[in-house]
Amino acid sequence: MKDKFYWFRLMNDAHDLLPECDHPERVIVQRTYKNGAQVVGPQCQVCGQFTAIKKSTVEDPNSLPRYSLQIKEERSQELREAGRRSLKGWWEIYAQYLNSDEWKSRRVQVMARCLGICEACNICDAVEVHHLTYDHVGCEPLFDLVGLCVGCHEGITDMDKEKSR
């Protein structure tokens, strides 16, 4: 019998196949997230990978250089292709998860919560369930999921794809 974290662990194991950054060229930088949170940490000067660390470990965080999104965007095509290949395994497992009894149960709960009405437009019938984040896939809390109509789901997916370019 599968425990409640089975799918979560399986998908995280597949995600861990992504190439890890082992470039030695790192600089401690300050970064501001979209929600306004300010963090510091090393950023790879080759691939742009960033890992937050405790601000208290840095004497004057405001004197640090800013996080460079440009470095992140200028990743080599080789790294992108390696990531795509490893993510393929993740998406295969995700497809299996969407056919599982665990997912079917969550889907029913989301549709009951939204009363079958799209939670984006509040007009059309909700027929699909959308993950707001993939961080908890496999044991996601219901607040990570929303019921959507086909049009809103396609629109949100298109926006997410555009944002990740």
Domain ranges of the chain: 1-97, 99-163
Residue 1 amino acid letter: M
Task: Judge residue 43's burial from the number of C-beta atoms within 10 Å of its C-beta, 0-12 exposed, 13-18 middle, 19 or more buried.
Answer: buried
Asked if the model's pLDDT at residue 18 lies above 50, the reply is: no
pLDDT band at 17 (very low <50, low <70, confident <90, very high): very low
- Identify the pLDDT of residue 149: 96
**Tokens 């300010």 belong to which residue?**
38
**What mean pLDDT is predicted for residues 131-149?**
89
- Tokens, residue 61: 């965080």
| Host H or E run for residue 10 | helix 6-15
Residue 165 — very low, low, confident or very high, per pLDDT cuts 50/70/90?
Answer: low
pLDDT above 70 for 56: yes
Note the pLDDT of residue 25: 86
**Residue 107: is its pLDDT beyond 80?**
yes
Look at 129 and 97; give whichever has higher pLDDT.
129
What's the pLDDT band for 112 if we cut at 50, 70, 90? very high
Q: Report the half-sphere exposure of 70 (CA within 13 A, side-chain side).
A: 2
pLDDT score for 124: 96
Q: What is the pLDDT of residue 104?
A: 94
Residue whose structure tokens are 């396609």: 154
State how far the Cα of 32 lies from the Cα of 38, in Å rounded to an integer: 4
How many whole angstroms separate alpha carbon 136 and alpha carbon 96? 16
